[in-house]
Structure 1
Amino acid sequence: MMKYINICVLLFGAVLATQAEEKPNIIYINADDYGIMDSGFMGRKEYVTPNLDKLASRGMVFTNAYAPAANCAPSRACILSGQYATRHGVYTVGESDRGKASDRKIIPTKNTLSLQPDNLTLLGAFQQAGYKTGNFGKWHVGEDPKAQGCDVNVGGSHAGGTGKYFAPYKLKNIEQGPKGEHLPKRLTDEAIKFIEANKSENFFVYLAYYQVHTPIQPRMDLVAKYNDVPGIQPKYAALIEGMDIYIGELMDYLDKSGLSENTIILFSSDNGGINKISDQAPYRAGKGSYYEGGTRVPMIVSWPAKVKAGSRSDVPVIGLDFYPTLLDAATVSVPQDKILDGKSILPILTQESGIEKRNLFWHFPIYLQAYSVDNDEGRDPLFRTRPGSTMLSGKWKLHEYFEDGSFELYNLEDDKGERTNLAESMPEKLAELKKLLYAWRAEMNAPVPTAKNPQFGKKQSDSKSKKGKKNKKKKASDKK
């Protein structure tokens, strides 16, 4: 009898050891231009997001999550490289001298369009660790995701937008679907097919929906219910609901396949929402701005095996943290010579401990032209942002603008809408934060443009103005 018990104990111990060594599967869902105030689980009940709400109830919601940049390409470059933009030079989409030349006082830093081949991406690190990796949707940091760490790629290239959401598609690297097929449904199905083919191994799925980036082309059967809902655009709400439905289909598949327990699902957005499409109040401004509405994003991490259901964290986190956190969760070592600027937030997820308090930084030595004078809520009506830096230190938010050396200081605890500038009334706090910001920029060798723009204040010639309008129209979808 004792021999039998000993055998059972040994077998049980072996099972526990196997479970302890089992690495999690990973699904990172990156919605495009999905604002902090665009979902039910963040309190915006006008938008119907039952599946995201369910995902939130299964895991941890981060109420102070930030994108590492305020528009698409730089944010994705930072997340996928794990590095601040000052290291890889991707500061914006396309050129950095956006807007009219006559309105730009200084010459902005030249932009880099792609992550360099030797900059190991998040998916590349997991590929090296033996995971099967797949990109489904928007890539935007290089022309070929397969050359940047993806075993499979469906619909990803350097393109920043779709052009249209229904087949026939205008995208590269995707087999044409039947006429009328909805792109986010197709991407979800392709991701599920990839998981099914690789479920006996560890997999990393990057499901990067082009939704809810313009054009606003939802399933029309979802629109009518929103026609009488005040304060929202019905088609935009339907586009959100469509994405939510497909995320629900993925969750259902994982449940039925028995994969949910040890699969990490990280849901977030690449930047803030477009304010003229969806008001991000109480936060100021939206995509392209470095006020809170441009950089705050929704964030959920579900991992039933390790993360307590229904938990929340108000610790400030940033997309730079995804790379080290996911490596940590999978017990994968940081690749040799790889510099990571984020911190692993695994101790927060498992509630074993916290992380050391830190400051967060954004650096944007570039211009982004205005979307809408009436809705942007920017610093001035011409640009969503002008060249500068921002930093978050506890409840304090500091902005510096390079054109005139001016500062804005906000107490987010009392003023989350960033309306009352305290820079003049709190000189000691301003000096303290300036010192921290300047030290960070020196450490990062961050470029600060100072050269004056000779075109500033000059009226453009008709030929140049027409050429600019033509180029602007041609590149509109990618440059947003």
Structure 2
Amino acid sequence: MKHFIYQIIYQIPLFIFVFFFCYSCNVPAQNSKPNIILINIDDMGWRDVGFMGSEYYETPNIDNLASLGMRFTNGYAASSNCAPSRACLMTGKWTPRHGIYTVGSSARGKSKHRKLIPIKNTKTLSKEHEIIPQVLSQNGYVTCHSGKWHLSKNPLEYGFDKNIGGSHHGHPSSYYPPYKNVTIEGDNDKDQYLTDLIMEKTLEFIDNVQSPFFLYYSPYAVHTPIHPVKKLLKKYEAKPAWNGQDNPEYATMVENLDRNIGLLVSKLKKLDLFDNTLIIFTSDNGGLYRITKQRPLRAGKGSYYEGGIREPFFFVMKNKIKANSKNDIPITNLDLFPTILNYAGVQKSHSNFDGIDLSPILEEEVDQFDRPLFWHFPIYLQAYNAHDNENRDPLFRTRPGSVVRHGIWKLHYYFEDDGVELYNLTDDIGEKNNLAQKQPEKALEMMNYLETWWKETNAPIPKEVNSEFEN
């Protein structure tokens, strides 16, 4: 009898081990690292989706995904065109820190119209900057880039384990084969639309990867060239225009993109990954003004009025971020790096970032946050159409200057003529009523923010006069 009791006692630890082992196999680990998917659409404007009010474009999958989390009505890109915005997102740093201000040359437009010599542009992101996939890769994540990269020749040199179609090119030569400047392994289907092929390869990655993974899904869509999805074209040609949105070819590209994001969400749910995945959705800059309008926002891509920098923006993560929630706090894509690291459980000094960790806002621990946001563009960017634009003048989408937003106030400052524009965005979201003369104290306060920030970031200021300038 005594021997039997001893046998039982000796077996208890084994029983406990077996019990908890079996239990852990059947119950998901609550503290496991989440998968992270960062969706960065190209050139999608603030109102180019249904959840932001469009009655022309049809985006049911994106709208449904947005309803599962928190959407931000004051979400911004840190620059108004592709490459600098993407550099800011990947580094978490303002443009003066990495020196990428535009795509290609900073002297765009006719020389005779440029009063100042613009600051020289950096075209490739320096490897001295540590970026999102590098840090996540060092902390147990498998990383995948899918679509447009635009910061160097090869994203695999910047911490990604897999690259689907990314290079230094900013847009495809064609969305139909042959894509020419976009190379994807196994792209043999001659009838496959590029956005569909990129998602097909992305789903293959998810099928075969072990968690946790980081996916940077950055399709070339909906950037030019505007190549319609042919089977959708008749529907939008018959659809009435809405609030400046009336391009049926572009609309088919938006709907096709939405379909592919629906496939991505379905795959996550099928593999039981959705509940443990942080999904972030945004765009790299405003919509292209000659193709789509963002009314009541002013102007579009390339401009630093709201239409060029305010983006559709939301976050989804079950049991962390409340569904059907909306937030008016101004945020920027600079905030994504520190936020992602927080949810990945990576400890890193916030002094490395110009953005903030948004988790206290996303999880409703705080309901306000007071800080200024800045934009710096010591360059020129020509207008597309001198007869159809909402820029400061018909020749340029951007002249050299800086912008600051603090609270409800936004100030534009221009280096050529010391011009100042001040707007109350609560009363005047369309930036039509310049209050600089009526509110000189507020304008001075905002200028002080800018001048302090210029010093802190060592922001280059163009001062040299262009000898070819014609008054």
TM class by shorter chain equals over 0.9
Partner of 1:294: 308
Q: Can you list the C-alpha shifts for 1:42-70, whole angstroms capped at 9, x where unaligned?
A: 01121100000110111111111000000
Contact 1:136 1:155 in 2 (8 A): yes
SS in 1 for 2:252: helix
Partner of 1:342: 355
Deviation at 1:321, TM superposition (A): 0.4
Deviation at 1:156, TM superposition (A): 0.4
Partner of 2:4: none
Contact 1:67 1:271 in 2 (8 A): yes
Evaluate the alpha carbon distance shift between residue 41 and residue 12 of structure 1 in structure 2; reply closer, same or farther with a 3 A threshold.
farther
Contact 1:28 1:205 in 2 (8 A): yes
TM-score (norm 1): 0.91
- C-alpha distance in 1 between matches for 2:445 and 2:276: 44
Partner of 2:141: 131
Contact 1:347 1:355 in 2 (8 A): no
Counterpart mapping for 1:269-280 below 5 A: 269-280=283-294
Which one-letter code corresponds to 2:315 in the other structure? V
Contact 1:187 1:209 in 2 (8 A): yes
Q: Can you list the C-alpha shifts for 1:63-120, whole angstroms capped at 9, x where unaligned?
A: 1100000000000011011111100000000010000000000000000001111211
> Which of residues 420, 443, 453 in structure 2 aligns to 1:430?
443
**RMSD (Å), alpha carbons:** 2.2
Partner of 1:33: 43
Which one-letter code corresponds to 1:267 in the other structure? F
Counterpart mapping for 1:1-20 below 5 A: 19-20=29-30
SS in 1 for 2:275: coil
Partner of 2:59: 49
Deviation at 1:337, TM superposition (A): 10
Q: Can you list the C-alpha shifts for 1:343-376, whole angstroms capped at 9, x where unaligned?
A: 0101111223346311100000000000122332
Which one-letter code corresponds to 1:320 in the other structure? L
Counterpart mapping for 1:11-410 below 5 A: 19-175=29-185, 176-198=187-209, 200-231=210-241, 232-334=246-348, 339-354=352-367, 356-410=369-423
SS in 2 for 1:328: helix
Contact 2:68 2:323 in 1 (8 A): yes
Structure 1: state its 5+ residue gaps.
459-480
Contact 1:23 1:330 in 2 (8 A): yes
Partner of 1:478: none
Deviation at 1:167, TM superposition (A): 1.6
Partner of 2:5: none
TM-score (norm 2): 0.92
Contact 1:368 1:385 in 2 (8 A): yes
Q: Can you list the C-alpha shifts for 1:112-168, whole angstroms capped at 9, x where unaligned?
A: 001111211111111111200011110001111000111000110100010100122
Contact 1:412 1:418 in 2 (8 A): yes
Evaluate the alpha carbon distance shift between residue 428 and residue 9 of structure 1 in structure 2; reply closer, same or farther with a 3 A threshold.
farther
Deviation at 1:12, TM superposition (A): 11
- C-alpha distance in 2 between matches for 1:154 and 1:409: 43
Percent identity of the aligned residues?
47
Partner of 1:469: none
Partner of 1:471: none
Which one-letter code corresponds to 1:224 in the other structure? K
SS in 2 for 1:223: helix
Could you tell which deviates more after superposition, 214-223 or 405-414? Answer: 214-223
Contact 1:187 1:207 in 2 (8 A): no
Evaluate the alpha carbon distance shift between residue 46 and residue 18 of structure 1 in structure 2; reply closer, same or farther with a 3 A threshold.
closer
Deviation at 1:305, TM superposition (A): 3.2
Evaluate the alpha carbon distance shift between residue 197 and residue 7 of structure 1 in structure 2; reply closer, same or farther with a 3 A threshold.
closer
Evaluate the alpha carbon distance shift between residue 208 and residue 131 of structure 1 in structure 2; reply closer, same or farther with a 3 A threshold.
same
Contact 2:329 2:369 in 1 (8 A): no
SS in 2 for 1:19: coil
- C-alpha distance in 1 between matches for 2:295 and 2:211: 44
Deviation at 1:177, TM superposition (A): 2.8
Structure 2: state its 5+ residue gaps.
1-12
- C-alpha distance in 1 between matches for 2:351 and 2:232: 45
Q: Can you list the C-alpha shifts for 1:158-194, whole angstroms capped at 9, x where unaligned?
A: 0001010012211344233321211111111111111
- C-alpha distance in 2 between matches for 1:43 and 1:136: 28
SS in 1 for 2:256: helix
Partner of 2:3: none
Deviation at 1:264, TM superposition (A): 1.1
Evaluate the alpha carbon distance shift between residue 235 and residue 12 of structure 1 in structure 2; reply closer, same or farther with a 3 A threshold.
same
Deviation at 1:228, TM superposition (A): 2.6
- C-alpha distance in 2 between matches for 1:428 and 1:338: 31
Which one-letter code corresponds to 1:177 in the other structure? N
Evaluate the alpha carbon distance shift between residue 277 and residue 289 of structure 1 in structure 2; reply closer, same or farther with a 3 A threshold.
same
Deviation at 1:418, TM superposition (A): 0.3
Q: Can you list the C-alpha shifts for 1:199-249, whole angstroms capped at 9, x where unaligned?
A: x32100111110010111121101111113233111111110000001001
Which one-letter code corresponds to 1:126 in the other structure? L
Deviation at 1:7, TM superposition (A): 9.7
Contact 2:62 2:261 in 1 (8 A): yes
Contact 2:338 2:350 in 1 (8 A): no
Evaluate the alpha carbon distance shift between residue 178 and residue 8 of structure 1 in structure 2; reply closer, same or farther with a 3 A threshold.
closer
Evaluate the alpha carbon distance shift between residue 438 and residue 338 of structure 1 in structure 2; reply closer, same or farther with a 3 A threshold.
closer
Which one-letter code corresponds to 2:405 in the other structure? L
Which one-letter code corresponds to 2:390 in the other structure? E
Deviation at 1:436, TM superposition (A): 1.0
Write out the 4+ residue segments of structure 1 that deviate beyond 6 Å after TM superposition: 6-18
Contact 2:172 2:180 in 1 (8 A): yes
Deviation at 1:265, TM superposition (A): 1.2
SS in 1 for 2:469: coil
In our comparison, the structure showing a higher alpha carbon Rg is: 2
